[in-house]
Amino acid sequence: MRGERGFALVITLVVTALLVALLVEFVNEVYVDASHSHNFVASQQAGMLAESGIAGGIKLLQVSSALRMGEQYSSLLEPWAKPQTFDSGAGSVTISIEEESGKLNLNTATSTNGTANDYTQMAVRLLTRMKLSTELTDALMDWVDENDTPLPGGAETSYYGTLKLPYAAKNNRLETVDELALLKGFTPAILTKLRPCVTVYGSSDFELATRININTADRDVIAALDEKLSDDLVERILDYRKTRPITNLNSIPGLDVLAANLSLKVGYIGNVYRIHAEGRVGESVSRAEAVVRTAGGTTPPVVLYWREY
């Protein structure tokens, strides 16, 4: 009898242990499912906030345009140029905007027949100033031109076809800056360094020349505009626009002698913007990015590029 009672006690303990284990597993599954459900909802909310941030950025651009009162300029002194953060109660959204019109348009620095132009020389000066190889310009020209003869520092399909994952030279215009990663010599580090200074978007489609907005251009882009632009003149430009937008090159002391050379490459207003929006709900973060071309006033902009990540 004593042995049977001992055996029954062991059985009872085993059953109890199993029940406790099952209860713990059940509670854990409920917690995990609830956590997953909460994270999914938070992720969806963060995504919606990021999308709304793009819409908010477009509205900010329209407000900035209205505040110009018809003046033909856009500058870093305007509302759109200042990052904005808004609290939605459930989370927050942060909006930042950069003007693509203040960058060198790589599509105007190339040509279908492989012939260099003034913008190609600007690209060479930009690379030199950033301490990057000027052979990158040859790779860029070869990627876009329609012939199969590589330039000295470039590459055509004969090169790309030998890679571990072979592909052909595009022989057409760039569609995104990220596309540069496919070109010979354009490493991730180089692409990161170049990204703030170059674009593939113009004020209209397939234009042969894209004026660079001197009110929003990066220091290196300004310096690359002309070989005669000294560091002192670049500093004068940057200092001038800290307090007021530039509307005439002749208003900057010392720049009048270069005004004629720069007039065809420089503008004072942009119409292409890259909007970054980040939605955050708890620990969930969602981002959206769009490039838009504005038409002024309340006219809806044209979306040239969109991604969410």
pLDDT tens digits along 284-295? 999 999 999 998
Q: What's residue 54's pLDDT? A: 96
What is the DSSP secondary structure assignment for residue 204, as one 8-state letter? S
Please, are residues 244 and 276 in contact by the beta-carbon 8 Å criterion? no
Q: What's residue 34's pLDDT? A: 46
Question: What digits encode the pLDDT tens for the residues 29-81?
Answer: 544 444 455 678 888 999 999 999 999 999 999 999 999 988 999 999 999 99
Residue with tokens 């938070």: 42
**What is the location of CATH 1.10.40.60 in the chain?**
103-266
Q: What's residue 208's pLDDT? A: 84
Per-residue pLDDT band at 7 (split at 50, 70, 90): low
**Which CATH class name applies to 2-101+271-308?**
alpha beta
Question: How is domain 103-266 classified at the architecture level of CATH?
Answer: Orthogonal Bundle (1.10)
Give the ranges where the chain is alpha helix by DSSP (H). 2-67, 118-129, 135-144, 157-160, 188-194, 219-224, 231-240, 259-262
**What is the location of CATH 3.30.1300.30 in the chain?**
2-101+271-308
The whole-model pTM stands at 0.85
